[in-house]
Chains A and B, each alone.
Chain A
Amino acid sequence: NAGVTQTPKFQVLKTGQSMTLQCAQDMNHEYMSWYRQDPGMGLRLIHYSVGAGITDQGEVPNGYNVSRSTTEDFPLRLLSAAPSQTSVYFCASRRSGDRKNQPQHFGDGTRLSIL
């Protein structure tokens, strides 16, 4: 099992460009989520999905879109990148069922810089 795989690992964009961050998991996890990590602020939830075809907003959803067409993939889209979106982005997944017995598993992140 590869676990949670994120691509690319690094990316530099210009303001206004669009981009999709990819996330795939091979554990057949129904729950998937996206976080951003900024200095001194811990991880903050952007969007999450409890299964294919279902997505919901987290704490900081503005400027990001998601879709969930398959169980395996949960891409995060930046439609018009802004410098405030410079961050490290993490994707995570877990099994469905009792959330108190299913810690999330994280990928190794995408480091995104917006110039």
Chain B
Amino acid sequence: GESVGLHLPTLSVQEGDNSIINCAYSNSASDYFIWYKQESGKGPQFIIDIRSNMDKRQGQRVTVLLNKTVKHLSLQIAATQPGDSAVYFCAENPPADKLIFGTGTRLQVFP
């Protein structure tokens, strides 16, 4: 089985509820942020991104909020579905060709 994620924080929600996954980033110079979803045995999959000149960006059922004052990023998933169960990573991009990933949060959706 997959060994990655044994020590991850876990968010458990009921199907149909909204989920909020939080992330603190480290570099105040980061100007681009990305949320990835990783299912077991798969690579990270792009969900949504946001530039530092924005506070909020919406996609289909997902919203990313950025608070640069406290270096905080959140991912909101509306009407959470069983297929949303996965590990979610935020990544920050300072002005360089490198991404810095957070440690991830496991989302568990119960029927």
Q: A40-B103, A43-B89 are in contact. Are A100 and B45 (CB under 8 A)?
A: no
Chain B stretch 65-111: residues in CB contact (< 8 A) with chain A: 89, 91, 93, 97-99, 101-104
- Determine the chain B residues whose CB is within 8 A of the CB of A56 once the complex forms: 97
The docked-state distance in angstroms from the alpha carbon of A88 to that of B97 is 22
The docked-state distance in angstroms from the alpha carbon of A35 to that of B93 is 15
- Determine the chain B residues whose CB is within 8 A of the CB of A109 once the complex forms: 41-43
Tally A-B pairs: CB < 8 A.
Answer: 66
Contact partner of A99 (CB less than 8 A), chosen from B44, B45, B97, B104, is B97
With A99-B32, A106-B44, A108-B41 known, 19 other A-B pairs at CB within 8 A are A4-B43, A37-B4, A38-B4, A39-B4, A39-B6, A39-B7, A40-B6, A40-B7, A42-B103, A43-B101, A56-B97, A59-B98, A92-B43, A99-B93, A100-B31, A103-B34, A103-B46, A104-B34, A109-B43
